[in-house]
């Protein structure tokens, strides 16, 4: 019976995740299993020690396990299941920069986020609460806002993705 692999998280995007595990000697390959909270289903196999799962739903929790196998005709001898990892694909965080744009305007620029449906721009005036001031398309990466001299303003830009109408 093959030794049990140790599964580790590598990276994720808004619709994919990558994982890897230690190499087990004297195996034919590895089976990859996935769950969304219920029973695990085999979703692939590889002879390598890494796997990327594409076309995932943003915001959905996924659980993964791996099994090493050795083919001994006519069937496979399986290791125990690896540890499980839990991953939720999400949008990456963006970074924003502020620029003076005339005497009473601020230009807000941010990095494009792959998979974003739109961006929400929030502003807070010193001592106040955050308020959404604008929602813009995913193709937009800047916005100009009118300000009053002498006040302190704070901004944040939040990318979001619409999934199944939500």
Q: Which SS3 state, helix, strand or coil, does residue 113 take?
A: coil
CB 126 within 8 A of CB 152: yes
Q: Which residues fall within 8 angstroms of residue 112, CB to CB, at 6 or more apart?
A: 94, 138, 141
pLDDT confidence tier of residue 134, bands split at 50, 70 and 90: very high
Q: Which of 95, 29, 44 is nearest to 17 (CA)?
A: 44
**Sheet with 7-12: strands ordered across:** 7-12, 17-21, 50-53
Distance (Å, whole) CA 109 – CA 152: 18
Q: Terminus-to-terminus CA distance in the chain, angstroms?
A: 46
CB 33 within 8 A of CB 43: yes
The predicted structure's pLDDT at residue 143: 96
The predicted structure's pLDDT at residue 150: 87
Q: Which of 111, 119, 85, 84 is nearest to 11 (CA)?
A: 85
Mean pLDDT of the chain, nearest integer: 94
The predicted structure's pLDDT at residue 18: 96
For residue range 78-88, list pLDDT tens digits in order: 999 999 999 99
For residue range 69-118, list pLDDT tens digits in order: 999 988 999 999 999 999 999 999 889 999 988 889 999 999 999 999 99
Alpha carbon of residue 113 to chain centroid:
11
């Amino acid at each position: 019976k093959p030794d049990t692999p140790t599964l580790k998280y590598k990276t994720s995007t808004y619709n994919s995740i990558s994982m890897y595990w230690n190499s087990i000697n004297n195996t034919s390959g590895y089976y990859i299993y996935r769950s969304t909270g219920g029973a695990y289903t085999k979703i692939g196999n590889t002879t390598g020690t890494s796997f990327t799962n594409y076309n995932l739903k943003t915001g959905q929790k996924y659980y993964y396990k791996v099994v090493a196998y050795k083919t001994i005709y006519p069937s496979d001898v399986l290791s125990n299941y690896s540890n499980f990892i839990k991953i939720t694909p999400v949008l990456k965080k963006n970074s924003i920069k502020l620029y003076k744009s005339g005497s009473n305007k601020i230009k807000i620029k941010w990095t494009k986020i792959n998979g974003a449906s739109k961006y929400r721009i929030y502003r807070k005036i010193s001592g106040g609460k955050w308020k959404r001031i604008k929602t813009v398309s995913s193709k937009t990466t800047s916005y100009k806002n009118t300000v009053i001299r002498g006040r302190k303003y704070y901004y944040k830009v939040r990318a979001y993705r619409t999934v199944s109408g939500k």
